[in-house]
Structure 1
Amino acid sequence: MKTLKKREKKYFNLLLFNILIFLLGASFRQQEDNSSKKIDFESLRNKISVISKDRKQAFYLTQKYIELAKKNNQVEEVITGYGFATTYAPDSEKAKYGDSLIIESVKTKDNRYIGMAYASAANANFKNYDYKKALEMAIIADDYLKNDTSKEFAYEGLFTIARLKNKIGDNIEAQKIANEIYEYYKWKKEKKNTADIRSSYIYTLNTLIRINSAINNFGQNTILLKEGYSFIENNQDVAFYLADFISSDAFNEYSQRKYSSAIEKLEKSLILYNDSDNHFYEKFYLGMCYWKLEDDERALPFFQEIIDDYKKTGKISLEFRPSFEFFIDYYKKKGNREKQLISVDELLQYEKKFKEEQNNIAQKLKTDYDEKRLVEEKENLLSDRKKERWSFISVGILGIIAATGFFMYQNKKNKSLQQAIQADVAEELDNTESSGIGDKDKEEIPSLKTTIIYEKEENNPSEIAPEEEIPIVYSLQNQQKNNPLEIDYEAYLPINKHTVKQLLKSLADFEKSNKYLASDLRLNTLAEKFNTNDKYLSRVIKIKTGKNFNNYISDLRFAHLESILKSDTDFKEKKIKEIAKYLGFGTPEFFATAFKEKYGKTPREYFENPDL
């Protein structure tokens, strides 16, 4: 009995202990939850900055940062966390975090947040060799940020544009943009020496060195390299960029045919990176250096790794084209005609795919950035000219007012002549009204309304090409009350205005030329032809028509069918499979299903012809 009581007492004590532990744990969790609400995100940001040299650790802390920010519903901190992730995440994951960054930023409806998000996403896609998407996002970022009062934000989208120009060989223009951005941050760090400014400064300096190397501007690079190494040494929070900086130094050496020195620096940069990224840029130029030194066997593994990754992922830098040429030359020297022929075919396939992509990027840069920028500069000049005219008119009006005030002052001052002057003025006014001269004099000083009309007439319509109107029928979701042809571009956000206009024009051409009759039409293939992505195209179609892609195409085809039936009554005599094929439907069954969904009847019932 005593033993039983001891057991019960022991069991009770154990139960009490467990309850106490549970309560203490609950109390601790509650305290932890309460303290988490007061998380010092600034300290966390500083920790990430301090360990930024170790990208693995920086990314680990970044993930914790995002987790805590979400847990505490700190929207701005979530955005900051995703911004860090586009820098410290492995290259293969950067684009994913860039997309998340855009989604969170759009919720704020703040142009600066949205623009910075697109700029970060552009940079992430650039590093992932998705130049087409990088350009699209960079242009959107530039649209959001270029008019920002703070130049440091205005340059974010423009910076990726400079790097893309470098990739397609437009290095003179790329150097102008990169140099302007570098000079700004060089000045800015003296005025506002924050971690963000220091990071932007060294990053743009690094990129300028690479672009300078491409155009043999080694003189400036000598100065920039000395400046950059000194800055990194004195600012440990940008030590993360040392590996990148040494890599750029190596490229500068390579461009001067100093291959041995370049190899030494490239190998050093690879050791310093200490992360899971592939670093194909450094490996490519290691391969190039060994190839130039005629050490093909040591060059081989670097080029092989790049080609293998391309075959696996379908992605490769436009800069790495010589990798294919190496294998042609290598197998030619080996006398292996079979592998040489395979290498030739691989280069031809690369050329077919990437030459077209390079041309598309060059064309998009020209139309969406270069020409657009020139038009905007022209509009700004015209606006400035108008302001100057208004200033001139304002000065004239102020002069008249001042003169009138002066005479009034003189009249008041000379009280003894006041009655005489009033009598003279009254008499003169009477004479003016009777003679009609006063009206004529009034017309010589243009009114505000007259001046506005005059300013409009001064602008020669031939100087500025009017915006091309897109002949399409807008859905109710995108109609304006006052002007049904006016496009509500805000409805298309986050797609920028210029891209929307381009896609609407492409869709209008697509409809006008009956290209919807093509078989096997898919959203992604049509998006590629329109030089955009499927998400953008789907959104534009949805807002323009209120339909998804499949319904949009089907309705165009059925509208075409109705038009034919009105002009050609014999058309319905064709077999169902012939009509289906003509309209672009994959199978007669798919056509019949879509037909019934549209009209509520089968084709047979609709045509009232049992033989069909």
Structure 2
Amino acid sequence: MFRFYPIVFVFIFQNLFFSQSIQGFHIPDSLKEKNYDQLQKAYNKVFRINNNLAELYANTILLKGKKEKNNELIYDGYYKIAHTRGLNSTNGHPYADTLLTITHNVNTKDYPAKAYIIKGILYNYDWKYAEALDQYIEAQKLSKNKNSDQYYYIKKLIGILKTATDENKEALPLFLEYYNYQKEKLNTNDKDIKSYIGSIFSVANCYNKDKQYKNALTYIEIGLKECNKYKDYTHYPYFISGIGIANYYLKNYKKASESHLKAEKSFIENNDYGNLAITYYFLGKTNYDTHHEKEAVQYFIKADSVLAFSKEFYPITRDGYEILIDFYKKTGDKENQLKYIDKLFFADSIINNSKQYLSKEIYKKYDTPILLEKKEELIADLNKKNYVLYWCLGIGFLLISSLTYFYIKSRKRIKQYQKQAELLLVKSKESPAILPLSDNEADKENASKERSKNIIPDDKLQDIRLKLELFESNKNFLQKNITVNSLAKEFETNRDYLSKSVNELKEMNFSQYLNGLRIGYIIEELNNNEKMRKYTIAAIADEIGYNNSESFSNAFRKITGTLPSYYIKLLQAS
């Protein structure tokens, strides 16, 4: 009887739980008549191949579940959205957290264990291995003697954690156990082709990591045959990449290069930047070992660019920077030599300071003292060249003087922004409420004058008050292209009533009200969501409904007295 209440609670307060899930999402016409089985098949077909499309199917499943009040669809929708967003390096944690909340008191074959599983998977994608392991252990307790599929799947997930910390020999038995379990299921009505093929890849990948390359190729061949047999190509590009890696180490360079070039296309199409960077690294190594140095350098530069764009780093790519340093030393390009020394310093700082990169075999050609000495020599040499340039700049004294004036003025503005960012951080920690608007007296006076002119029937005012409350609680203000006209139409009122009601109820005009909601929301998100702080300003602007970064920055500055870049920098440093 007690289990009934959480389910009722979910339906009564479903907007509180689901508001962040599919904001602004509408089921495309082509999917409206599809049933769950059809959507599931469509999702399985593109998962890990085109994760943007997979997320579309996941959102459709969730929205259909909400409309039909079908808990199983709701749970599955949240699970799938969290997973696809995690694979796309976007934030899947809110969806996993919601799934944990709504299944906490559920007792089915799959839940709540499956909620802990997806939370662990997301932690693994974030390289938080200890946290991931905690989630897997909790899921294993819940699934033992209850769901064999989950129980063995968790063994595979723990194996993945072990390979991440280079415990490959310990991981291999877990992967083989999972593979044998999935293989036995092929003879039953409960066979799971996707999981079966995935288990083959796990074994092959572990053999590659353990330097048993011929065994890896044996399992890759099995995996490719099964992909073609069952028409399931989810893991296909990863098998191809595995062929490239194994053949590189076996010195079959032609085969290695062909495989990596083939895998590259799939990784680009699916925005899989981590595997794309590793692919470019191996193409660089293949060309370097076959004495195609210029081509190798271009691939190492590509690998670095992808890693910089994705803000990720993989220890295996480290010696690519050493090759770049040697190349630019040989060509006499001291600027690029210094650039990649700094990159190598950065790589080593991550390896040395992050638990995610515990590796037993990272060999360093350049140790830190040598790098420091070489860096100082390069800087000194570059400074000598610049000395001649300083004499030439003497004729531009008047220009420099004027630039200095603007520089000082700019520094004052920067200090003011920094000070305002510090005040904002203190204020936002004390109260997460929507921040007040600018202290501009003209704004206040204009708003006061507008309120004094407002004569709105009380019943209209109360109706709009309720609709504004729903507008805020559902976070509909994050949608793009909201105007007073569009919102008035949605509220089934006229523009004049809505504008005057906002003046009366919020003591500000509509533009100030909308910007206040958005800026208040993003400040709270930035405070609580470390991953959001890594977004570009343009990406954040798009996330909260602005058409460009300039309009977002201007609104942020007017409300807070600082710019979003200064506030994010302060959060990252705190």
TM-score normalised according to structure 2 size? 0.50
Q: 2:240 aligns with which of 242, 246, 256?
A: 246
Q: 1:277-426 to 2 correspondence within 5 Å?
A: 277-278=272-273, 279-311=276-308, 314-358=311-355
Specify the alignment match of 1:47 in structure 2: 42
Per-residue CA deviations over 1:528-574 (Å, capped at 9, x if unaligned) read xxxx99xxxxxxxxxxxxxxxxxxxxxxxxxxxxxxxxxxxxxxxxx
Shift of 1:118: 2.8
8 Å contact from structure 1 (residues 130, 315) kept in 2: no
Letter in 2 for 1:163: I
Specify the alignment match of 1:449 in structure 2: none
For 1:294, what is the secondary structure of its paired residue?
Answer: coil
Shift of 1:193: 4.8
Specify the alignment match of 2:271 in structure 1: 276
8 Å contact from structure 1 (residues 284, 302) kept in 2: yes
Per-residue CA deviations over 1:426-481 (Å, capped at 9, x if unaligned) read xxxxxxxxxxxxxxxxxxxxxxxxxxxxxxxxxxxxxxxxxxxxxxxxxxxxxxxx
Specify the alignment match of 1:74 in structure 2: 70
Q: 2:104 aligns with which of 103, 106, 112?
A: 106
For 1:240, what is the secondary structure of its paired residue?
Answer: coil
Q: 2:199 aligns with which of 182, 195, 204?
A: 204
Per-residue CA deviations over 1:10-32 (Å, capped at 9, x if unaligned) read xxxxxxxxxxxxxxxxxxxxxx9
For 1:153, what is the secondary structure of its paired residue?
Answer: helix
Per-residue CA deviations over 1:274-314 (Å, capped at 9, x if unaligned) read 32332333333223322333334333344334434544554
Q: 1:21-60 to 2 correspondence within 5 Å?
A: 40-52=35-47, 53-60=49-56
8 Å contact from structure 2 (residues 284, 295) kept in 1: yes
Shift of 1:184: 1.6
Shift of 1:156: 2.7
8 Å contact from structure 2 (residues 152, 181) kept in 1: no
8 Å contact from structure 1 (residues 132, 361) kept in 2: no
Distance 1:305 1:129 in 2: 23
Q: 1:170 aligns with which of 163, 167, 170?
A: 167
The 1:185/1:339 distance shift into structure 2, 3 A limit, reads same
Specify the alignment match of 1:607 in structure 2: none
Distance 2:337 2:32 in 1: 64
Distance 1:339 1:359 in 2: 29
Distance 1:148 1:284 in 2: 44
The 1:253/1:50 distance shift into structure 2, 3 A limit, reads same
8 Å contact from structure 1 (residues 250, 265) kept in 2: yes
What are structure 1's unaligned runs of at least 5 residues? 1-31, 364-526, 534-612
Distance 1:153 1:141 in 2: 8
Specify the alignment match of 1:118 in structure 2: 116
Specify the alignment match of 2:185 in structure 1: 188
Residue 63 of structure 1 pairs with residue 24 of structure 2: no
Distance 2:293 2:218 in 1: 34
Shift of 1:209: 0.8
Letter in 1 for 2:119: A
Distance 1:132 1:310 in 2: 24
Distance 1:218 1:310 in 2: 26
For 2:346, what is the secondary structure of its paired residue?
Answer: helix
Aligned length: 328
Distance 1:241 1:336 in 2: 42
Shift of 1:325: 2.9
The 1:346/1:142 distance shift into structure 2, 3 A limit, reads farther
Shift of 1:205: 0.9
8 Å contact from structure 2 (residues 103, 112) kept in 1: yes
Letter in 2 for 1:235: Y
Letter in 2 for 1:185: Q
Q: 1:223-234 to 2 correspondence within 5 Å?
A: 223-234=218-229
Letter in 1 for 2:111: Y
Residue 215 of structure 1 pairs with residue 210 of structure 2: yes
Per-residue CA deviations over 1:138-176 (Å, capped at 9, x if unaligned) read 44444444x244332113333232223223222111222
The 1:316/1:298 distance shift into structure 2, 3 A limit, reads same
8 Å contact from structure 2 (residues 51, 88) kept in 1: no
8 Å contact from structure 1 (residues 167, 318) kept in 2: no
Residue 264 of structure 1 pairs with residue 288 of structure 2: no
Specify the alignment match of 1:421 in structure 2: none
8 Å contact from structure 1 (residues 129, 315) kept in 2: no
8 Å contact from structure 1 (residues 209, 252) kept in 2: no
Letter in 1 for 2:224: Y
For 1:239, what is the secondary structure of its paired residue?
Answer: coil
Per-residue CA deviations over 1:61-114 (Å, capped at 9, x if unaligned) read 222222222233322212212333345445222634444444444353658423
Specify the alignment match of 1:415 in structure 2: none
The 1:216/1:308 distance shift into structure 2, 3 A limit, reads closer
Per-residue CA deviations over 1:368-415 (Å, capped at 9, x if unaligned) read xxxxxxxxxxxxxxxxxxxxxxxxxxxxxxxxxxxxxxxxxxxxxxxx
Specify the alignment match of 2:147 in structure 1: 150
Specify the alignment match of 2:538 in structure 1: none
Distance 1:187 1:247 in 2: 27
Which protein is bigger by CA-based radius of gyration? Answer: 1
Shift of 1:44: 1.9
What are structure 2's unaligned runs of at least 5 residues? 1-26, 361-527, 532-574
TM-score normalised according to structure 1 size? 0.47
Q: 2:79 aligns with which of 57, 73, 83?
A: 83
The 1:255/1:165 distance shift into structure 2, 3 A limit, reads farther
Shift of 1:267: 1.6
The 1:325/1:137 distance shift into structure 2, 3 A limit, reads farther
Shift of 1:336: 3.4
Q: Which has the higher contact order (CA 8 A, sep 6+)?
A: 2
8 Å contact from structure 2 (residues 217, 246) kept in 1: no
Shift of 1:315: 2.7
Q: 1:508-587 to 2 correspondence within 5 Å?
A: none
Letter in 2 for 1:329: D
Shift of 1:359: 7.4
Letter in 1 for 2:327: Y
Per-residue CA deviations over 1:328-372 (Å, capped at 9, x if unaligned) read 333333333454344334323332333332378689xxxxxxxxx
8 Å contact from structure 1 (residues 91, 124) kept in 2: no
Specify the alignment match of 1:255 in structure 2: 249
Shift of 1:54: 4.5
The 1:349/1:48 distance shift into structure 2, 3 A limit, reads closer
For 1:93, what is the secondary structure of its paired residue?
Answer: coil
The 1:222/1:247 distance shift into structure 2, 3 A limit, reads closer
Letter in 1 for 2:253: Y
